Each structure stands twice: as structure tokens, then as C-alpha cells.
Chain A
Amino acid sequence: MNKSIKLIAADADQAKATGPNVLTIANDANPAELSLAGVDRIDLHFPKFTDGRAYSQAYLLRRRLGFTGELRATGDVLVDQLQLMQRSGFDAAVLRADQSLAAAERQLALFADFYQGDAAHPQPHFTASGANA
């Protein structure tokens, strides 16, 4: 799998979500109720890395609602979840301060492909490769 997610070190996250074109939403917000017109970036939040609601939000924003701007993961963002984030539709992640960029790169490069389709590659392996996989 190719790395496509942009990694942002915690201290480099200057562009805090304050501008008019940036939407910051809680992880229990309903993506379908957002007004996406003119929005360039949506910051989705992981209060704890074990709280996976923002994955579904990202998936719905990308696949269901057709949002084409930046989806940024914020909060308790750890290198070992980046792959899940990238596959769920995130294209940027602000890493928690103690996270290692090198470990992030390694983790993102580990898998060649996956079984199920995702936000980035909607077709599952069985469709993409045909029945002769």
C-alpha cells in the first residue's frame, strides 16, 4: 500500500482549525448534517485512539457525502492507527507529540494490499483481482 496520508508533527500544527474554511467536529457529530459548501478542511477528532467513531465519520464524508477537501485526524493520533486512517479517507494526521515519524513510515509500508474495499480504494480484493486471486 502506498503512503498517501500527510503526516504533521504536533509542534508543526500551526494552522489550527480557526479559519472560516476549516470545520472542526466532535466525533459524535452526524456528517450528513454538516454544511460542506466552501469547506476546505475538516478536522476529525480522536479523544482516545481506542475511540473509533471518527473512522466512520471519515468514511461517510468521503464516500457518501463526496467531500473532496482535506480530512485531518487530530487528538490521540498514533503511528499504529495511520493505516486505518488513510484507508478510511483521512489524508492528513497530526501526530501525538511523542510519535516517531520513522515508525509511522514503516507501519504504513507493511501491507501490500487488503481484503476489503475502503474509502481510498472502494473495490474489495475479490473484485479487483477477479476470482483467480
Chain B
Amino acid sequence: MKQLELRELTALLRECAGEEDGVDLEGDVLDIPFTDLGYDSLAMLQTTGRIERDYEIALDEAIDSAGTPRAYLDVVNQALSAREAA
């Protein structure tokens, strides 16, 4: 069953919104707020739209309050599981 991994998420963030100077996305960033990683709400909107299209899922408002990569991956992977089960 497809689940989104952290490395895939950081790759998508890079593609959709670039990379902030001085931030190491390869490090342990699971619990670092997106804003600290240099990604504002528009960067996240862009990334979310990309994931919805690429994986053919719809992500509800819960994604907007997912402030860290861990929380974000939880919401995405729940939606991926639900789609698999359907």
C-alpha cells in the first residue's frame, strides 16, 4: 500500500517551493514546523495541490493545520490508506 515517506515529501517541497538557505532538509526534520523550514502557507498550498494530483487523493482541511512534516504525512497517509481500502 502506497504511503508517502519523509524523503519523498522533502523532494516535493524542494520542487514546489525551493529550498531555504541554511536549512538541511536531509536532516531529522519530522517535527520541525514548516515555517521554520522556510515554507509559508502558499508553499504548502502548492505542495498539497501537487500531492493531490500525483496520488489522486483529496486532502481535507486537516492538512492545513498539519504544521510539521510528521503531522502532514499522517494526514496524507490516512487519505492514501482510505483510497486503497475503497
Q: Decide if A and B are genuine partners.
A: no
